[in-house]
Amino acid sequence: MSAALLAFALLLFQSGPGLGYAEAKARAERYEADLPSQTYRRSVLDPLLTPKTKALFSRCYPASVGRRMTFTLIVSFKDTKFDRVERDSEDPVARCMAEAFAEIRWPKPPHDDFAEEFHFDLAPD
């Protein structure tokens, strides 16, 4: 096996976030400072997610977890439709939050290939 092929195979089987995460993160960063994206966040995403926050945390990060959690989710769109949620952690709390985010009916984004990054830094009360 050539060194390049071996390196590619290792990249595919690495633990943690994979190629899908890296691609979605690059798209999220590309749209971070974009004016239509900022407007979408403020006028569409914030009103959509704010009322759901308490229920999401109750479901995925109950008081019984009792430990600090940091992870990132990236909601990815393709052809203006929700495509998937990528995460940078295999922790059960991050998996649960990704599943919960995947159940949301996401409104049409400002760009065909939009991605939005959500950082979580959770600590027990």
In this predicted model, what pLDDT tens digit does every residue of 97-113 receive, in sequence order? 999 999 999 999 999 99
pLDDT digits (tens, 9 = 90+) for 6-63: 444 434 433 345 568 999 999 999 999 999 999 999 999 999 999 998 898 889 998 8
Tokens standing for residue 34: 């974009």
Q: Is residue 5 part of a domain?
A: no
Q: Is residue 53 part of a domain?
A: yes
Q: Is residue 2 part of a domain?
A: no
How many C-beta atoms lie closer than 10 Å to residue 116's C-beta?
A: 21
Name the domain count of the chain.
1
Question: What range defines the domain where residue 48 resides?
Answer: 17-122
Tokens standing for residue 118: 């959500």
**Which residue from 65, 119, 53, 52 is spatially nearest to 91, judged by alpha carbons?**
65
**Which residue from 61, 50, 63 is spatially nearest to 96, judged by alpha carbons?**
61
Q: Is residue 72 part of a domain?
A: yes
Overall pTM > 0.75: yes
